[in-house]
Every structure is written in C-alpha cells, then in structure tokens.
Amino acid sequence: MAFSLSSLSTMFSKPTQSVLGIDIGTSSIKVVQLRREHGRVVLETYGAIALGPYAGVEIGRATSLSAEKIGEALKDVIREANVTTKDAAISIPYASSLISLVKLQSSLESQLASVMPIEARKYIPVPINEVLLDWFVVTGGKEAGKDGKIEVLLVAIHNDTIAKFRAMAADATLAVSFFEIEVFSAVRAALDHGLAPVAVVDMGAATTKFYIVERGLIRESHIINHGSQDMTLAASRGLGITVAQAEERKRKFGLLSIPENSIKQSLELSLTPLVAEIARTASTWEQSHNQSLGALVLTGGGATLKGLKEFMQAKIQNELRLSDPFGKTQAPAFLEAILKEAGPEFSVAVGLALRRLQDLG
C-alpha cells in the first residue's frame, strides 16, 4: 500500500534539517520528506497509502473517514516510508476552505487588519469567530486597478477542521509548523514563476479542481464534480468486472493503445465529458478576460493515468503539461523516470515541504 525510498538517506552526506509535507486526500495520503543541502533540495523519501481499505472499500475510492482512522493511516505511511523527521506541514482540503477574491478601495490597503474581518462576513456563511482568517493582497499599491481598487484574496478555514488535523498530527507525534490549503501547495510545486496566466487542473478521486494562476497568485477557482474514481466505476459497470479489477487495469494500462487494454474505451467514454468541461472552463475564462492561458498544467493522482496528456491534448487547444514537482528536487538518476511518472500525485506534498524549507531559510 505504500512505497518509499528508504535507502536514499544513506546515499548522501550527513543530513541537515529534514521536513515533511503531508497531503491528506480523499482516496490516499501522500508524504514527501526533503532537506536542503549545499543550496539544493534533496529528496529523502516519499510514500503513499490508499485510504479505501481503512473505510472497507476498494483502493482508489474516495472516502469520508473519522479522524481516528485517518490518523491510523497517517502513522502507517510514515512508518512504511521510513520517515525520520517530526517537522511537518499538512494540507487542508479545498472543500474544507473558502477562497474569495475581494475588491476594496485602495485607501483601505493600510487598514486590512481591521477591514478584512468585517468584509469577510459578506462571504462566509458562519460566524467569523468559528473560522481562521487569512488574506493576501493580489494587486495593490501601484498595481491597483484603473477603478482605484485593490484585490485581496480572502482565505478562511473552519476552526473544527484545524482542530481535527491538529489532533491527527499530535496522535502521530508530529510537530506541525503550518497548515495550508492544498491549492497553494499544488501551485508552488507545479509552476515556476511566470507572468502569463496558466490553469492548474488538479484531478482528484472525487472531484477535479481548476485554478487560474497569474504571477504565482490564484485568481479564480472552480470545482468539477468528476474525478478519477468515476472512470473506475464506469469501467467496472461497462466491462462487468469488479471495481478492484477495474482500478488495477486502469493503473496498469490507462489509455495505452495496446491489444490487451480492454479498459481503454470505457475510460475514454468516462473522460470525454470531463475534458469537455475543462476545455469549456478554460475557454470561458479566456473570452471573459480577453487573454490567453499560457498552458494547462495537470496535477493530482488522476493525472498519472497513462496516455492522459495525449488524449486530452487532442481535444484541448491550449498547451498541456504534466506537473513535475520532483523536478524541483535532487534524487538519484535511476529514479528519474519513476519520479516523473508519479510526480503529479505528489504535487501538494512536495509544495508543502518546499514552503517549510523556505521558512527555515
């Protein structure tokens, strides 16, 4: 259920401080341990564990587990991946957060600490004292719009969610330095700093998230209620095989055009409406902003499907790229192909660890 690079730590010189990024998704938990050495980011170990078995369902299925069950899985993957550090950062699911772009008069930029809690009441359907608030100025100062307004990204996470994740971390004896909404971690790992707007398409088990990113900042976000488990379930029904068999074949063959791939047609039929919705969302944004997207960057576990990029590129005009978060790290050359293939699934965990290393300086 998990895999790791447990021998990596012996292949380099004495380690400096190591950090751990933990991505708790609906279908799996991913962990990545990094350290900085001589100015380079070194990959020490990584691992993933499916949550399906902890919920009594098949691998690859989205789950809704108790904090105790998630904590149990977290401890298992930490052990199986041979994680050696307690210094951790954990992602918060996008569904457990609220992100809004707020426009304010530029004269209020110096007063955001007092203004934003009041402004947030317009966007948050629960009492402000029940959430953790944060905000980032997207355009302000000299970059304020022609209308004299600044744009502020408002972020809110429910206190109960933070408490749940803190309890899981404490149970695993981790020292958590920060929690971060998964979108920010994914963007950090998937993109380099560029001026042209791009879309990050995060393909999870239950949903696909679509983020517009410009100058490293998230401008818009959309959720498409179609994920990788839908392909598995459709193939199971269409071929009359078990969900477990469909998931196994999906992972093994994907969309490869080979004689033994009996699942290809079912996967394509299930994928087609999702790809059409992604293309429509991208086109709508471009038309409404009179601006072209530089690329669509695919990330998340669903993006590891063999042949996915080629299938989508035939139906989408924009350039498609697969996220390569491990490309920002140093690891043995013989692992390059494996890490490139697994990369999209680990974008959030890598992004968390990269931020923690930045915080440490």
Span 79-108, pLDDT tens digits = 999 999 999 999 999 888 988 889 999 889
Q: Output 237 or 9, whichever has higher pLDDT.
A: 237
259 phi and psi angles, rounded to 5 deg = -55, -35
* pLDDT reading at 12 higher than 70: no
Q: CA nearest 131: which of 155, 151, 104?
A: 155
Model confidence pLDDT, tens digit, residues 336-354: 999 999 999 999 999 999 9
Kindly indicate the confidence band of residue 11, based on its pLDDT and cuts at 50, 70 and 90.
Answer: very low
Please list the residue range(s) of the chain that carry CATH number 3.30.420.40: 8-95+160-230+264-360
What is the CATH code for 8-95+160-230+264-360? 3.30.420.40
pLDDT in tens, 32-79: 999 999 889 999 999 999 999 999 999 999 999 999 999 999 999 999
End-to-end CA distance of the chain: 34
- Report the pLDDT value the prediction gives residue 137, as an integer from 0 to 100: 86
Task: Calculate the dihedral angle through the C-alpha atoms of 256, 262, 264, 266, rounding to the nearest 10 degrees.
Answer: -170
**142-200, pLDDT tens digit by residue?**
655 567 789 898 999 999 999 999 999 999 999 999 999 999 999 999 987 667 899 99
DSSP H stretches of helix in 191-263: 228-239, 243-253
Hey, what are 311's tokens? 């299938």
Biggest distance spanned by C-alpha atoms of the chain:
65
We find that the CATH architecture of domain 96-158 is 2-Layer Sandwich (3.30)
In the numeric block, which tokens belong to residue 40? 């380079």
Query: Considering the entire predicted model, what is its pTM?
Result: 0.90
Per-residue pLDDT, 65: 92
Residue type (1 letter), 77: V
Structure tokens, 99: 């992100």
Neighbouring-strand partners of residue 135? 154
89's tokens: 């950062």
Query: How confident is the model over 204-233, as a mean pLDDT?
Result: 91
- Residue 240 banded pLDDT, cuts 50, 70, 90: very high
Angle, in degrees to the nearest 10, between helices 264-289 and 228-239:
150
Spatial distance between the Cα atoms of 307 and 206, rounded to a whole number of angstroms: 20
Burial class of 147 by CB neighbour count within 10 A (0 to 12, 13 to 18, 19+): exposed
CA 33 – CA 88 distance, rounded (Å): 9
pLDDT at 327: 95
> 9 pLDDT exceeds 90?
no
Burial profile 54-92: b = 16 or more Cβ within 10 angstroms, e = fewer: bbebbbbbbbebeeeebbebbbbbbebbbbebebbbbbb
pLDDT at 87: 97
Q: Span 118-129, mean pLDDT?
A: 90
Distance (Å, rounded) from C-alpha 341 to C-alpha 306? 9
Residue 125 pLDDT > 70, yes or no?
yes
Residue 282: per-residue pLDDT: 96
- pLDDT higher than threshold 50 for residue 206: yes
pLDDT at 144 (0 to 100): 59
Confidence of residue 2 (pLDDT cuts 50, 70, 90): very low
As a whole number, the mean pLDDT across the chain is 91
As a whole number of angstroms, the distance between CA 134 and CA 261 comes to 48
| Exposed/middle/buried for residue 227 (C-beta within 10 Å: 0-12, 13-18, 19+) | buried
Residue range(s) occupied by CATH 3.30.1490.300 in the chain: 96-158
Sheet holding 217-224, edge to edge: 217-224, 208-214, 198-203, 296-299, 320-322
Nearest to 344 by CA among 320, 319, 322, 329: 322
As a whole number of angstroms, the distance between CA 141 and CA 107 comes to 9
